[in-house]
Structure 1
């Protein structure tokens, strides 16, 4: 049996079922980082979305759209049974611009709960067709052939790109599959070939043309549009950059080491100023069997550092394809853990795995233009005690959309320098309690340590190819700062400051593990925190930076929490920050993953400027067992991906723990949701 309040014994409020399928129970195992390296204690409404880019015209940085003027009245607090709910926060006469909505209270409602004055709608969900002639979703009649042309499972990253006057291109990552939630009568010990092939097809990426509604903020998919595309584990991807073709990337099926079938566990992402989409491959390790059979010390250490171990995998894919068996194809895991670049406008293009950006568990890949016109890409490695990275291209971004500019930008991410961050606090040792030091801030300075540029390695004892293939070990060697699961990272389109979501790390300060430092100031950090980073001269090409802890998440009544100095009686509780986005007012929006406070995950707005700095307000919550992903904020709507609804231990197709989004008698389906105000306002929301 399951209970809605089911919580795993791991880092957060995730269910054990989610821990099993999403990351292979990473938090139940020892952290892969066993190194002994040191650690140290109103924008105009007409602006374009930070998740939008111009397909034509001058190349610009991704800029935030004007946020909704989110107004709303008060209502009684609700915790169950209502799809609108407001909190019991201490009365406040005003809110930060862009956050003027009635705050949603923490709750356990099996729905997407939104503020009063707003409407919502499902845009697309698992199994919905993208192409004409494809059958509608039927959990009892799914086939691999149909799934390859349907919307995939467990949508995560979400963005909208310009396409037409009343249409957009929506790009979405499909991170992982939850077989117990997908297949009636599923036997984990004996999956069928058809079930495995459906799961292969349900992973990957989707490009979906969507039509804008005339009178509200709703969207609907355009089935059969020529730009629609599904990329899955059978799609071809090209390895590019300095490591492409290396002997450790060669397999029986690909002796050249340049063509990979599939992309796995795609989590966060980003949009480039030249109109392409970046997708990060994250927990790829769980898909490969028989790492325990490897005894050669160097190879065994490399596998262990990336969390590969054991014999059989949970999904048993190795029974149906030798490439998932390390004993038979030892180099196949090296072909995953990269940043993938996709051209959404060309459905015939081959996506690229950019080796110059390094190989690790990529949560995100967010670009920003440097002061001299190059591009920097910020990346987090989502593992306890792992690192924060930046890549800076050698060449400048070519302006325009002519053939020459497109050719130059097409290889821009193949040449540049990869760095890892070292954070230094300015107040000496911290005690791990979260109590602020005497200067009133957890803050300090930092440096970007170069790891590799092209064929030049800056790491003793490692070649350039080895640094790119085994980036974690390279960062260990140079003394990077061990962080509390750096997930999404987002440069502000308004200020240029960079924000890092550190989701949690309950092992901080445990016996034999790294203790608290000023950049990770709480031991047993189950609620996570957010860091604000300012690079020298506000230049993404700089090699030094300042930083401060913006949020120490959790219950505002907990003395270890901190909300940038704002009155904690006027903020929403927030736990386990994950994905980030900006609105046009400069507010940071945070979606959560694994709320450890006993309520459902949600989406929160956070003011960053003026007297409201630190004001956190919950805008929505998601159904039973679900995680909030995406998000996307623009003038017409707020959008989120609702990932793994109903994923509660003991749940199955026969015994669902949620009936969202289709209602009683249905199985839960991951889906994209749009929320918009009931009344349109002149000039926008």
Structure 2
């Protein structure tokens, strides 16, 4: 066929200008979002075997040095050519026949990469801001006044740095929804003019606490458009860094969770660094507590070697924290409250239909840097929760409930189903590849024509109907597995992955997809080398993994759907699709599906010198791997929380204008309000005209 290349390919020639040659995230974003995780020593220093080790051992025994020249076997014209060309080619087609028409809903004109200070959408689409940081959420909330903020006001206003977004239909209405949004973190130099990082005030700290958490907001749609307008509804609610939570599961009441403020170890005040999440089939919202390590101070004062090892495995280190909350609240000082940090890093469940219901932290799902938790329900009602640990060289998990989901709607069904995640088995993933001896860290596709293999789920923890846990890991108690889950994964030899972020089951096919964002340490000295699921050394662009899982069982097969980056580069792969016909994509983060089972990918930290965006990906047929950019977010921003409906697409625009050398005193963005306004994280709706 005659191909018409899309004008979408962006050169990566400027990547070397960055501090680590990978993400375009500013140093300020890294500092406040994840505590400079990419600049610290990797927390996983375990010597647990990963499947690349097995290959190296076998090759050494045969006297073959890793990295030596390998014979290249001839392959068919439709297999590896798309990913194994030179830097200048990389445009081989996958078939000579004209592809079938694009799937329903994907017939938009792709947006070209750009660096505009705007949300850019395809021709024929409109957009509107739904809600901004500081907009009123509950009754009595004042109008936002950047120069006169108070913690009392922020507790009633939309929080900062929105990430996950979920839309839950309100029964009896075809146009009204509950919008539930996470507020991942605060970037204090963008919250306040004249901010002194070494000397924050008590009120600034209180505002920061209030700007974390979640918001529940009733929104109204319009017939004939996708616009959403906030309302003062009876369900509206702010959950903050001070809201009381209930702990359930095998670690509830554990000595590891007891503090002076809560000697029972059964309740927690606040939630922090809530990244992505998921809407459950029973009408609640799950939220993942991610980079919680950065909020706690004085880890270096800990002298107990066991405690110090546990803190280090979770990236908790140093003296003063960046935000200095410990100066005003002792729970953030590990020297005074050594267990407080253990009360964060859980999957949180919120019932948005009852503003008085205490949110839950589920200890049966394990404690780590949860990007999210998303649900698949099998035909017999078994509930499976998937979650990734967003850290370089950390693991993928799933929880299989021993309880069945109660069908139906209403309060009775919700009350029954809200306990589904309190009994069952927690597993961690171990992968093997089909062609491991062909992986050399270059990203070169094996002669099999795909990166693929098998996997098993290794059981770690079983929680009974009585809430008591049973450890399935030698040398660890049930409470230790629940609270220090990373160490359990180390012991059983789980596979070290390239930052497993969002996990999303496809509602049409049941296959499960994982965004592996990047890992600039892959293959560097002393670190795990490339393997078939993580095939590139110094991986700056990430990949998307596809699992065909025996959901309630312990086996799965896998393949890489996308190996992201510049399509002109030899180390990228788009499901075998013609690489001249795709949009460049870098650093996949959040995933979503439309009603037809098409995958949508949002990005964080685009390493290709353009703004982050939202992309559609075809999963089946002769267009499998076709990737198109649907929108881009403003400069300095990250694309989060995508919701893709028949009527609209919703995205959270996080940290707009967070560029190095920028601040509230010298803003780099004026989105969304324009003029000389301060940038404000916001939720945006996009719809077709």
Displacement of 1:587: 1.0
Deviation at 1:10, TM superposition (A): 6.7
Counterpart in the other structure of 1:121: 128
Q: How far does residue 410 in structure 1 lie from its aligned partner after superposition?
A: 2.2
- Aligned-residue offset at 1:30: 0.8
Deviation at 1:262, TM superposition (A): 0.2
Residues 371 and 541 in structure 1, CA contact (< 8 A), matched pair in contact too: no
Q: Select which of 484, 491, 514 maps to 2:498.
A: 484
Aligned to 1:656: 667
Alpha-carbon distance between aligned partners in 2 of 1:449 and 1:343, rounded to the nearest angstrom:
31
* Structure 2 CA distance for partners of 1:309 and 1:297, relative to 1, 3 Å: same
- For the pair 1:296 / 2:317, whether they are aligned, the reply is no
Structure 1 position 402, deviation (Å): 5.9
Superposed displacement of residue 428, structure 1: 2.4
Structure 1, unaligned runs of 5 or more:
42-88, 679-685
Q: Which moved more, 1:117-126 or 1:391-400?
A: 391-400
Distance 1:395 1:133 in 2: 42
Mapped to 1, the partners of 2:549 and 2:101 lie a distance apart of 32
Contact 2:441–2:537, Cα closer than 8 Å, also in 1: yes
Query: Distance between the aligned counterparts of 2:19 and 2:632, measured in 1?
Result: 20
2-side partners of 1:669 and 1:103: how far apart? 26
Q: Give the Cα separation in 2 of the matches to 1:658 and 1:591.
A: 21
Distance 1:311 1:621, change over 3 A: same
Q: Match for residue 60 of structure 1? A: none
Deviation, 1:8, is 4.4
The one-character-per-residue Cα deviations of 1:612-665 (angstroms, maximum 9, x if unpaired) are 111000000010100000100001101100000000011111210000000011
Unmatched tracts of structure 2, length 5 or more: 1-13, 53-92, 464-468
Q: 1:387 aligns to what?
A: 395
Counterpart pick for 1:518 among 529, 532, 555: 532
Query: Matched residue of 2:372: which SS?
Result: coil
> In 1, distance between residues paired with 2:369 and 2:344?
9
Residue 152 (structure 1) aligns with: 159
Q: In the alignment, what sits opposite 2:60?
A: none
Kept in 1, the 8 Å contact 2:99–2:622? The answer is no
Residue in 2 aligned with 1:452? 461
Q: Do the aligned residues in 2 keep the contact of 1:11 with 1:27 (CA within 8 Å)?
A: no
Structure 1 residue 215: Cα displacement: 2.9
What's the CA shift for 1:411? Answer: 1.3
SS in 2 for 1:119: strand
| TM-score between both structures, scaled by the size of structure 2 | 0.89
* Equivalence for 2:337: 329
Cα deviation 1:533-568 (Å, max 9, x = unaligned): 0013xxx10210000011000000000000000000
Q: What is residue 555 of structure 2 aligned with on the other side? A: 544
Between stretches 407-416 and 621-630, larger displacement belongs to 407-416
- Give per-residue Cα distances to partners, 1:225-282, cap 9 Å, x unaligned: 1100000011000011111000110000000001100000000101111111000000
Give the Cα–Cα distance (whole angstroms) in 1 for the partners of residues 30 and 186 of structure 2: 12
What's the counterpart of residue 175 of structure 1?
Answer: 184
Counterparts of 1:150 and 1:158, CA distance in 2: 16
| Deviations 1:473-505, CA, capped at 9 Å, x for gaps | 000000000000000011001110000000000
Q: Distance in 1 between matches of 2:276 and 2:17?
A: 26
Distance in 2, Cα, partners of 1:201 & 1:5: 38
CA distance in 2, matches of 1:444, 1:93: 28
Residue 278 of structure 1: aligned partner: 286
Q: Note if 1:575 corresponds to 2:592.
A: no
* 1:399-414 paired onto structure 2 within 5 Å: 399-401=407-409, 404-414=412-422
> After the TM superposition, which of the residue ranges 366-375 and 394-403 deviates more from structure 2?
394-403
* C-alpha distance in structure 2 between counterparts of 1:174 and 1:268, whole Å: 10
Q: Any idea what SS the aligned residue of 2:436 has?
A: coil
Asked if the contact 2:257–2:265 (Cα under 8 Å) also holds between the matched residues in 1, the reply is yes
Q: Please list the CA deviations of residues 179-238 of structure 1 after superposition, one character each: whole Å capped at 9, or x if unmatched.
A: 00010110000001111100000000010000112331100100x311000000110000
Q: Secondary structure at the match of 1:408?
A: helix
Contact 1:18 1:647 in 2 (8 A): yes
Query: Which residue in the other structure is 1:44 paired with?
Result: none
Match of 1:63? none
Q: Does 1:439 align with 2:448?
A: yes
2:489 is paired with a residue whose SS is: helix
SS in 1 for 2:482: helix
Mapped contact 2:15–2:22 kept (Cα < 8 A): no
Partner-residue secondary structure (3-state), 2:146: coil
- Contact 2:363/2:482 (CA < 8 Å) preserved in 1? yes
Shift of 1:136: 1.1
* Separation of aligned partners in 2, 1:483 and 1:354: 24
Secondary structure in 2 aligned to 1:591?
strand
Q: Shift of the alpha carbon at 1:370? A: 2.3
Q: What SS does the aligned partner of 1:599 have?
A: coil
Q: Match of 1:682? A: none
**SS of residue in 1 equivalent to 2:265:** coil
SS at match of 2:309: helix
- Aligned match of 1:165: 174
Deviation per CA, 1:49-86: give whole Å up to 9, x if none: xxxxxxxxxxxxxxxxxxxxxxxxxxxxxxxxxxxxxx
Equivalent in the alignment of 2:654: 643
Q: Counterpart of 1:248 in 2: which secondary structure?
A: helix
The whole-number CA distance in structure 1 between the counterparts of 2:472 and 2:428 is 12
Question: Could you tell me how far 1:94 is from its partner in structure 2?
Answer: 4.9
Label 1:612 to 1:302 Cα distance change in 2 as closer, same or farther (>3 A). Answer: same
Deviations 1:357-409 (A, max 9, x none): 00000001000012431100000000000000000001111122466543331
Would the aligned equivalents of 1:183 and 1:653 in 2 still touch at CA under 8 Å? yes
Provide the secondary structure at the position in 1 that maps to 2:522: coil
SS, match of residue 51 in structure 2: coil
Please name the residue that 1:76 is paired with.
none
Match of 1:505 among 519, 530, 543: 519
**Shift in CA distance, 397/610, structure 1 to aligned 2, threshold 3 Å:** same
* Corresponding position of 2:55: none
How do 1:197-596 residues align onto structure 2 when only pairs under 5 Å count?
197-222=206-231, 224-401=232-409, 404-429=412-437, 430-454=439-463, 455-536=469-550, 540-596=551-607
**Secondary structure of 1:140's aligned partner:** helix
| TM-score normalized with structure 1 length | 0.89
SS at match of 1:180: helix
